[in-house]
Amino acid sequence: MSDITVKINSQECKAQEGEYILNVARANGIFIPAICYLTRCSPTLACRICLVEADGKQVYACNAKVKNGMNIETVTENILKERRAIMEVYDVNHPLQCGVCDQSGSCELQNYTLELGVDSQTYSIADTVRESKNWSSVLHYDAGLCIVCERCVTVCKDMIGDSAIKTTARGGEALDKSYKDTMPKDAYAMWNKLQKSVIAPSNGTEQTNCSDCGECVAVCPVGALVSRDFVYTTNAWELNRIPATCAHCSSGCHIYYETKPTSISNREEKIYRVTNEWNYMSLCGAGRFGYDFENTNVSKDEKAFALAIEAFKKAQTIRFNATITNEEALMLQTLKEKLGVKLVNDEVRAFQKFLNAYSDASGKSLYGSDFKELMNSDFIISVGSILRKDNPNARYVFNNVQKMNKGAGLYFHPIGDTVIPTFGKSVETFNHKVGLEEAVCYLILDLFAPKDKLSDEVKDYIESFKDGDTNGLVELLGKDSAKFKASFDKMMGKKSSFGLMVGEDFFYHEKSENLAKLIALIEEVTPLNIAFIPPKSNALGVSLICELDDEATGYTIGYNENGDFKLSALGDGNLDIPALNQQEGTLTNMNKKVVPTNSALEYNGYELNDIMKALFDVPRLAIDWTAYLPVDKGFMSHEFDSLPNHYTNAGVELRGYSLVKFTREANEIKVDRFDEKAILEGDIVCRANPQRQFSDFTDKAHQINEAFGLYVSDAKSKSIGTSKAEISFGDERLILDVMVDDRMEGDIVALPDFQSKHNVYGLFGTSRYKIVTIKGV
């Protein structure tokens, strides 16, 4: 990668070697029309409209790479002829229903038809019957409107990893032979392909089997793919776009809440949909469809407020979770400092301990890499995370590395997953026994650490597993070591940058301190770039800002959690507080960025800062706290209003600021050996949510319908045999519906934690896995 210069329309442009012409042009504000291309995905070459002339030769800007000194012309007479013909072809038989189409006004077909001045039609062909279909609970596909640009197929494969849709035969008439001679060449080729295909679920049924992320809806240039809830409810131009940050998981994705008055009689704003900058950031189903979690019909209840003040005065503990802004976390920390209350946070405490242990061992205040960097690596390892359920973005990164960087991947997790191996040919999955997480780390050290950098003790320990050609560590983790060695050698070919993502299993672990040290050691001695997946929304922010305690004692205030006095944004507490789509503030995401979010909906009740104001002399607005976030923890004293929240045309993320990382001298890292006796045997339950569910807030959203139940693999459901199961943790028993997750494998079952009323964290304690007894009832 080196800087080069190219000339586009005689304008000098700086570029990186290996960049596509289209991206260079976009970064420099030069317009090249393109329909099928998606940044961060592989070029599809379906539309062919991005035709340009590079050094006198016609190439497609989306898949031709720039070379030093290249001369590029974006418009020539022939190119214009091709482009116009292509747009005419797209307009052939396109239904004239812009009046009712949801995409009207933001439609790329409309825009390019206008841009290229298509005012008459020269081509024609008999149309094929194409019916609109519902692919899932959220996806609505109108094949009649589809222009088969294949962006949905591309994003589903290259970014999301579900590969749930594909092109299939349309059954249309063949093109008239005479067109071949009379039409521009590229337009004919594009039409020939278009006329043969239409999009359909790739499993051969009428229904997609996917994670319902809705990214295909986002990338659709026309109105063919729309979410079922949104179809025909409003026009795009009526919607007010509010840049915000998704509050559901630690990805902290950039989103726009799109609002408009609820109805003619109710002029209160309502969120109609969530959109994203799909070229630069992909959402998951929770982010896209779980937006209506606001606290409605709230007014200032003075009596409840007076009670709340009393409660805070006598409180000994405040229990809260990770779905909270940095500012609110700082307020709670202030309460701790001034009133001496304990702060209890089950979702974050274990992560905070892990992070502290890591910092102590490595001398770094934060993990070294982030997921943006990991996305550019060509070898990625995931440990301790159920990628599909824990964090959608980490999963997208894992998948994207396979698809775009000719990458390879290692996936370590006790729960088998049928999706991960489909990400790429060079993906090896280890479904090891629960309790062998340390062994995973030792295997990574064995595979990646140069032997001279390891201490003798560690080196000898690793060697002690080896017996001739057999690597005991690989065998212990459930794979044949000879086979693995062969495939690993193949995987390592031509690889230059390596990434490791560390997930929740490592934080909620009896030996989390040793694991943190092992991770620190791996970062120090191997070339792996390391990033953690913070367990929930703002877990990273809370763990930096708050000093958390282990146990709750005495009178407890619950902040969106259970307690003697409950403040709740879910409308079920003693005092109402705003939900995260009703308040301003900042969140800290897993890319170590402090990103702002704005309020999309009106809120007329009290918020935490009102209580703070009643108790102490504090700033007037919650966002006035932004500048006081702890600088010694890496925050900066920026005013909230100075924080940007957008992407540039070049894809540069201008959102908030990055946390400052501190480094200090660290001692040599001493790691412990692992104990094979720690392996859990028997019926094991793992604390894991179904995809699209993260908290009570996602559960409240009307389009998220994954229920609270026991998630099991197909095989396990057969062995349970009934539709309900009793699961007992010693004395505590839960009777739950058995839900089959057909992408899970193995006997370990998953118990969700998204409903706080079940106190699932209480059942699991400091571990993510428990031995239980499961029986059908």
Partner 1 sequence: MSLEQFKDRNVGVQNYRQLDLPQSPTTAMCKVKQVAKRSLKGELFVGLGVTVREMVSTLFGKGLHTTQYPFEKLPISPRYRAIHEMLRLLESGNYRCIGCGLCEKICISNCISMETRYDENQRKEVSAYTINFGRCIFCGYCAEVCPELAIVHGGRYETASEQRASFSLFEDMLTPIDQLSLQQEYQGFGAVSPNADDNIKKTPLAY
Which residues between 232 and 251 bind partner 1 (CB under 8 A)? 232-235, 237-238
What is the rounded distance in angstroms from the CA atom of residue 351 to the CA atom of residue 368? 16
What is the rounded distance in angstroms from the CA atom of residue 463 to the CA atom of residue 465? 5
Task: Name beta bridge partners: 381.
Answer: 410, 500
Nearer to partner 1, 183 or 458 (CB): 183
CB of 84 to partner 1, least distance (A): 15
Q: Letter for the amino acid at 771?
A: I
Nearer to partner 1, 125 or 666 (CB): 125
Nearer to partner 1, 261 or 619 (CB): 261
Binding of partner 1 by 104 (CB under 8 A): yes
SS3 198: strand
- Going from the C-alpha of 761 to that of each of 265, 323, 437, 748, 764, the distances in angstroms are 43, 15, 21, 18, 5
CB of 273 to partner 1, least distance (A): 14
CB of 188 to partner 1, least distance (A): 16
What is the rounded distance in angstroms from the CA atom of residue 72 to the CA atom of residue 83? 17
CB of 263 to partner 1, least distance (A): 6
CB 48 within 8 A of CB 82: yes
Binding of partner 1 by 264 (CB under 8 A): yes
- Packing angle between helix 77-91 and helix 108-115, nearest 10 degrees? 140
Contact residue for partner 1 among 29, 100, 115, 639 (CB under 8 A)? 100
Q: Which two tokens stand for residue 265?
A: 């009689």
What is the rounded distance in angstroms from the CA atom of residue 167 to the CA atom of residue 144? 14
Binding of partner 1 by 178 (CB under 8 A): no
Nearer to partner 1, 9 or 104 (CB): 104
Binding of partner 1 by 55 (CB under 8 A): no
Nearer to partner 1, 235 or 766 (CB): 235
Stretch of 124-132, 200-208, 454-462, 536-544 lying at the interface with partner 1 (CB under 8 A): 124-132
CB of 94 to partner 1, least distance (A): 11
Nearer to partner 1, 10 or 237 (CB): 237
CB of 174 to partner 1, least distance (A): 12
Please name the helix (run of DSSP H) or strand (run of DSSP E) that holds residue 14, with its range, or none.
Answer: strand 11-16
Binding of partner 1 by 547 (CB under 8 A): no
CB of 117 to partner 1, least distance (A): 13
Which residue in the block uniquely carries the two structure tokens 């918020």?
607
Stretch of 113-121, 150-158, 214-222, 585-593 lying at the interface with partner 1 (CB under 8 A): 113-121
Nearer to partner 1, 119 or 731 (CB): 119
Please name the helix (run of DSSP H) or strand (run of DSSP E) that holds residue 177, with its range, or none.
Answer: helix 177-182
Nearer to partner 1, 125 or 404 (CB): 125
Contact residue for partner 1 among 122, 464, 642, 723 (CB under 8 A)? 122
Least Cα distance to 502 among 487, 516, 486, 488 occurs for 516
With the C-alpha atoms ordered 480, 413, 382, 660, is the resulting torsion angle positive or negative? negative
Which residues between 492 and 521 bind partner 1 (CB under 8 A)? none
Stretch of 123-131, 271-279, 715-723, 743-751 lying at the interface with partner 1 (CB under 8 A): 123-131
Own/partner contacts of 32-36, CB < 8 Å, gap of 24 or more, are 32/61, 32/74, 33/83, 33/112, 33/115, 33/116, 34/61, 34/62, 35/108, 35/112, 35/147, 35/149, 35/151, 35/221, 36/62, 36/149, 36/150, 36/151, 36/154
Contact residue for partner 1 among 2, 10, 120, 299 (CB under 8 A)? 120
Stretch of 125-133, 598-606, 729-737, 754-762 lying at the interface with partner 1 (CB under 8 A): 125-133
Contact residue for partner 1 among 1, 3, 12, 124 (CB under 8 A)? 124
CB of 241 to partner 1, least distance (A): 16
Nearer to partner 1, 183 or 330 (CB): 183
Q: What is the DSSP letter of 105?
A: T
CB 290 within 8 A of CB 595: no
Gyration radius of the chain's alpha carbons:
27
Nearer to partner 1, 99 or 450 (CB): 99
CB 158 within 8 A of CB 400: yes
CB 212 within 8 A of CB 138: yes
Contact residue for partner 1 among 2, 10, 178, 263 (CB under 8 A)? 263
What is the rounded distance in angstroms from the CA atom of residue 67 to the CA atom of residue 379? 27
x/- mask, partner 1, residues 128-147, rule CB under 8 A, reads ----x---------------
What is the rounded distance in angstroms from the CA atom of residue 629 to the CA atom of residue 644? 17
Contact residue for partner 1 among 116, 143, 189, 231 (CB under 8 A)? 231
Stretch of 98-106, 326-334, 592-600, 721-729 lying at the interface with partner 1 (CB under 8 A): 98-106
Which residue in the block uniquely carries the two structure tokens 């809830």?
229
CB 376 within 8 A of CB 1: no
CB 140 within 8 A of CB 101: no
Nearer to partner 1, 101 or 533 (CB): 101
Binding of partner 1 by 76 (CB under 8 A): no
Binding of partner 1 by 125 (CB under 8 A): yes
How many chain residues interact with partner 1 (CB under 8 A)? 25
- Scored b (16 or more CB within 10 A) or e, 336-366 reads beeeebbbbbbbbbbbbbbbebbbebbbbbb
Which residues between 716 and 775 bind partner 1 (CB under 8 A)? none
CB of 304 to partner 1, least distance (A): 35
What are the start-end ranges of the H helices in 221-370?
285-289, 302-314, 326-339, 346-362
Binding of partner 1 by 455 (CB under 8 A): no
Check residue 136 and give left, alpha or beta (phi > 0: left; psi -120 to 50: alpha): beta
Nearer to partner 1, 670 or 702 (CB): 702
Q: Which two tokens stand for residue 41?
A: 């995905």
Nearer to partner 1, 116 or 660 (CB): 116
CB of 172 to partner 1, least distance (A): 11
Binding of partner 1 by 182 (CB under 8 A): no
Contact residue for partner 1 among 99, 204, 340, 468 (CB under 8 A)? 99
Which residue in the block uniquely carries the two structure tokens 């800062």?
609
Which residues between 272 and 301 bind partner 1 (CB under 8 A)? none
Q: How many CB atoms lie within 10 A of CB 621?
A: 14
Contact residue for partner 1 among 123, 191, 674, 729 (CB under 8 A)? 123
x/- mask, partner 1, residues 313-352, rule CB under 8 A, reads ----------------------------------------
Stretch of 258-266, 361-369, 385-393, 509-517 lying at the interface with partner 1 (CB under 8 A): 258-266
The site for partner 1 (CB under 8 A) is made up of 98-100, 104, 119-126, 132, 173, 228, 231-235, 237-238, 261, 263-264
